[in-house]
Every structure is written in C-alpha cells, then in structure tokens.
Amino acid sequence: MSKTIRLTMAQALTRFLSRQMTEIDGRTVPIFGGVWAIFGHGNVAGIGEALYQVRDELPTFRAHNEQAMAHAAIAYGKANFRRRFMAATSSIGPGALNMVTAAALAHVNRLPVLFLPGDVFANRIPDPVLQQAEDFSDGTATVNDCFRPVSRYFDRITRPEQIIPALSRAMQVLTDPADCGPVTLSLCQDVQAEAYDYPESFFAERVWRQRRPRPDRGELAAAVTALKGARKPLIIAGGGVLYSQASDELATFVEGAGIPVCETQGGKSSLPDDHKLNMAAVGVTGTSAANRLAEEADVVLAIGTRLQDFTTGSWALFKNSGKTIIGLNVQPFDAGKHRALPLVADAAEGLAELGAALKGWKAPAAWTDNAASGKKAWQAEAAKVTASTNAAFPSDAQVIGAVQRAMGSGVTLLHAAGGLPGELHKLWQAGAPGSYHAEYGFSTMGYEIAGGLGTKMAKPNEEVVVMIGDGSYLMLNSEIATSVMLGLKLTIVLLDNRGFGCINRLQMATGGANFNNLLKDSRHEILPDVDFAAHAASMGALSEKVSSIAGLETALAQAKKNDRTTVLVIDTDPLVSTDAGGHWWDVAVPEVSARPQVNAARKAYDEKRRMQSVGD
C-alpha cells in the first residue's frame, strides 16, 4: 500500500510545484522560477500559508497590480524560451479578473504561465460572499469562467483530490511545445484549506524536458520538392525559432542554401541583425529589404510563425500568384494556415532535416545577390532616420538611434504597444537570440515595465532596456516600485508625445479628424503636464528628464553605471514616423461619411483591398 501524507489542497499544490524540474545546459533546475502573489480573501489563508511553508524552495514575490505581476511572469517564461516559467495567484473577484488580460496575452503568444485565482466557496453555504458575482441562471458560474477562452487548460478545483489530475494536466500543457500556453486552476477558497491523504509519490521530483518532434517523411519530401523548384525562396523566422533555440540551425541552413531571411516581431533576433542574409523585419512594420523580396517570393518557408496580419500585410504582401507557403511549425493549426504545405516539426529538427535533404542545392545567385544589395540600401536609409538631431521634439526613430549608440546590441530591448513596435521592428539592430523582446501578439499597453521586470528576473546579469510611451506608462507603471524593492535594475526610456500618438496617426491616415487621442485634442479643462521623472522618483527610481538626443545619450551612459532602476524621459514628436519600409495594413474605413477626407480614404482603402489574397 502506497504511503500518504495529509496536507491541505493548497499545501499539496505548492509542494508539487516545488518538485517540478527541468534541465538547462546540463543542469537540473526548478522549472518554476517562483510565484507572484497579491493576497486577499480567497487566497491569503489557503495558498498564502502554503506558499510560506515552501518559501525557500519556491520563492514568492509581491507585486502592486495583478495584471502587472502576471505580465512579469509571462515575460519570464518568454525570456527563458519557455523552458522555465512562473505562477501567479490572486484573491477572488477583481483580483482574479485583473489577470484575464494577461491570460489573453499569454494565449495569443503561446507562452506558459500558471494562473491560480481564488474562487467562491465550493460548498456555497456563505453565498454570496464578498466580491462574488452571481449569475441568475447558472449556479456554477463565477467570474473565473472568464479565463476559459484565454486558457489552454482550465479547471475548477471543488474537491482537494482533484488537484492531482489537474496539476498533471497543467504540467503537460505548460511544457508541450505545440499546446503551450496559459493554464488556469480556479481554486475554491474553502477547498484550498481542506485536507486529503495525498500519495507521497505525487511529490516525487520530476524533470521535464523539451519535446522535439521530427517531421513526417511525406511532408518533408513535399517541402523539399517545393524548395528545389524555387527561383525566389524566402524564409520568415517567427518566435518558434527562438523557443526551439534553433538560431544555429537556421544560420547553417540559410548559409548552405543561400536563402534570405526576414523576421516577425516574435522572431526578431533569430539571426543577428548584421548577418548577411538577414533582411530584418517583414510586413506592415517591415524593412524595404524584406518586403520587396516578400512581394516576389515564389516559395515562402514560414518557421514558427502564426502568420498574423502584421506579418503578411493583411495578406496583401505576397503578390506572387503562384507562390507556395511551407509551414514549418510544431503546432498543426499554424502549420497549415493559408493553404500552406504543412511541415509539422520542431524548428531545429525540421531545419536540420531540410538542410540534409537539400545538401548541394542553392537558391539562384542572382536572388541572393539581389537580397544583399537591398539590405545595403535599407541600412543606408535606416542610418538617416536614426541619426542624431538637435530638434526640440525628436522622432521615435531618432530616440531609438540614441539608445542603440549608447547601449549597443548586447542589451535586451523590451517594448510592447503604440508606435515603438513599428519603429523598433524596422530599426533596432538586435544581437544575441532573445535580445529583442516584443509583446506584439496582443500589443498590450502596460506590459512594458512589468515585462521588463520579469525579463530581468530571467536574465539578472544582463542589461534590460525598456522603451515605452507616455500612454502605456500611465496605464501601468507600479512595478517600478517592485523592481526597486527586489533590487532588479531596469533602464526605462520614456518617450512623451503627450497622448496616444500612434493611434492619432492611424486616425489621420484613415481620414479621421484629430480627436480624443492626443491630450490637446481630448475634452479637457486643464491640459495635463505630467512630470514623469518626479513620478518615477517617487517610487524609488533614479530619474531624469533630458532635453535632447545628445543629453539622452549622456544619461544612458550614466544609467549603465547606476545600481537601480533608472527612468529617462524625453519629449518626442507625435506626428513623425519612418516612411521607409512598411506595408499597407487593413483597417476598415467607413463607406460613407460627411467628411471628404474619410471618403477619399475609403476610395484608397478599396483599391488596396484588391491586393489581398483569400486565406483559410
């Protein structure tokens, strides 16, 4: 008869989490980097006490906002290439719901995180409890059901023994390269405190290793045939290249076959920016070097990408009517998109087998040479827009140039929403794999600072630079205080264009009037003038507002030497963005309007839509 140990459900959960391991570079390490927790009723008595018991093996971190702590947990998983991850626990009601946006972010980006929100009483005796939302027609519904559509796996624990199969399933999802994403275990607060005789074997140490499926022989043969017939082949490198840690395999493959590479937001840094075959960003926020090749490509090998609209130019970028797409992806859902030839496999394994099968074959030299000349032309254009300036309100591109010159490509650069993703995707010169950290799958305003914190936890010895606009900063900045409290230094560059400049530009481009985006165009009695440097200083950061690009470079040099989080603020121009590169993006314009500008924009929109191909 197997031995048992009597524990509460919450104690069993935390003990189990502390015994899950992984192997990285030959070392066995805990797979959970810790648990983020904001305690309240619904988790302080059950999970709180249980986390205290394992605080040395499974560290608990306190944040200031539930959404932010979940962003930090997700960024930690992303920065670790999904090999390690974190959990996040909250109280019931608003505390739990604050994490739903983060769950959606992780779901879209295929990133592992374990959500442990508190829930109502399973026995229902005290109903309705504080913060319980009652459904008049469904006695089983709680607010935590909002996690269902944005979780890869969801379970509500209503009996203590249910945690055994639930945690086993959770670990399978969190570590599966195809199904990877957020897991939510909704923990009824009375059940957290209930005891059960758990088998000791449940708490045995287990090492989880990355699964690397190899391609099907038939799918591989079809892909090889398509590539051998290509005259203008192109590779799109997505985030799956990084999660598979397949950068070396990608470099070997493209150098052997002479195929140029372009990168999605998630895949940027798959190859270093200075690699001769790296054409850099593709799509709406792409470079001219990449997009002109994409327009002509007859075979597109899409590796580890979900081919979202910013990558495909809303499916208007790839203009070769006879093109073939090969979807090399560990997830069949993504591999077969847009009638692609699926090649379901791990990126590293798939590239290795493709390379072996194509040995001796090379893309036409004229195509490779054409790519090289296009890259040279783009680099010259990029150098112009990022050059230093004396302008009172520099562009985002000029600020990016200053950060690049001052910090180099050896830092990890993080951003998420607004105008910066478009400019950074084109212009940032990334170095090592994973050194470019973009959350542009869900483009979540407020991810940046919390994401920087999680990234720094994953890379404590590296310089982490966060670039953020004033709009995102005002939405979620509280984890500056957490970074100071934990001694995790960030360098935050805050570009203040006094509103939502990116969306204002989109509004203008679609014929709209300047309305409700920039602060000056919004209803106001007093025009806000936020002292961001003083605000950051009030949370314990070092801070400074600089008045020029030269001043920013000087301040960045000092920030390298600082021993804690530093926030540097600079005013920027809300109307200027980089014209070079890029591609049309489908944003529907009203068919009728009293404004002639909108009618003209609709006419141009209809003309652009004719370029779109119909996808699946």
Res 446: pLDDT: 96
Residue 229 gets which letter from DSSP? T
Rg of the chain on CA atoms, in Å:
25
Superfamily of domain 217-375 in CATH is TPP-binding domain (3.40.50.1220)
Q: How far apart are CA 454 and CA 482, in angstroms?
A: 11
Q: How distant, in Å, are the alpha carbons of 112, 142, 267, 442, 495 from that of 238?
A: 17, 37, 4, 15, 28
pLDDT mean across residues, the chain:
97
pLDDT digit string (tens) for 434-448? 999 999 999 999 999
CA dist list (Å): 452 to 354, 423, 494: 36, 19, 13
- Flag whether pLDDT at 314 surpasses 50: yes
Q: Which CATH superfamily is domain 4-208 in?
A: Thiamin diphosphate (ThDP)-binding fold, Pyr/PP domains (3.40.50.970)
Confirm if 548 and 390 have CB atoms less than 8 A apart: yes
pLDDT of residue 1: 64
- On whether the CB atoms of residues 54 and 202 are closer than 8 A, the answer is no
Q: What is the distance between the alpha carbons of residues 446 and 69, in angstroms, rounded to a whole number?
A: 11
Q: What is the pLDDT of residue 615?
A: 58
Q: What is the pLDDT of residues 468-481, one digit of tens each?
A: 999 999 999 999 99
Percent of the chain with pLDDT over 70: 99
Looking at residue 531, what DSSP letter applies? Answer: -
Residues of the chain with CATH 3.40.50.1220: 217-375
pLDDT above 70 for 616: no
Topology adopted by domain 386-571: Rossmann fold (3.40.50)
Q: What is the mean pLDDT of residues 275-283?
A: 97
Q: Quick check: helix, strand or coil at residue 208?
A: strand
Q: Residue 285: name the closest of 373, 176, 415 by CA.
A: 415
Which CA distances in Å does 59 have to 38, 62, 87, 583? 14, 10, 11, 46
- pLDDT at position 613 is 83
pLDDT of residue 289: 97
Alpha carbon distance 527, 53 (integer Å) = 51
Do residues 108 and 442 lie in contact, with contact meaning Cβ atoms separated by under 8 Å? yes
Q: What's the pLDDT score for residue 463?
A: 98
Quickly tell me which residue has 């797409």 as its tokens: 325
Q: Are strands 195-199 and 4-8 parallel, antiparallel or unpaired?
A: antiparallel
Taking the C-alpha atoms of residue 414 and residue 269, their distance in angstroms, rounded to an integer, is 12
Whether the pLDDT of residue 221 is over 90: the answer is yes
Q: Is the pLDDT of residue 614 over 80?
A: no
The arrangement of strands across the sheet holding 412-415 comes to 436-438, 412-415, 464-469, 491-496, 566-571, 542-546
Q: What distance in Å separates the CA atoms of residue 332 and residue 343, rounded to the nearest whole number?
A: 8
Q: pTM (2 decimals)? A: 0.97
User: How many whole angstroms from its chain centre is CA 536?
Assistant: 25
Output the pLDDT for position 579: 86
The 10s digit of each residue's pLDDT in 344-375 is 999 999 999 999 999 999 999 999 999 999 99
Dist. CA 533–CA 184, nearest whole Å? 37
Which regions of the chain carry the CATH code 3.40.50.970? 4-208, 386-571
Q: What is the pLDDT of residue 2?
A: 80
| Mean pLDDT value across residues 128-140 | 95
pLDDT in tens, 163-216: 999 999 999 999 999 999 999 999 999 999 999 999 999 999 999 999 999 999
pLDDT in tens, 527-538: 999 999 999 999
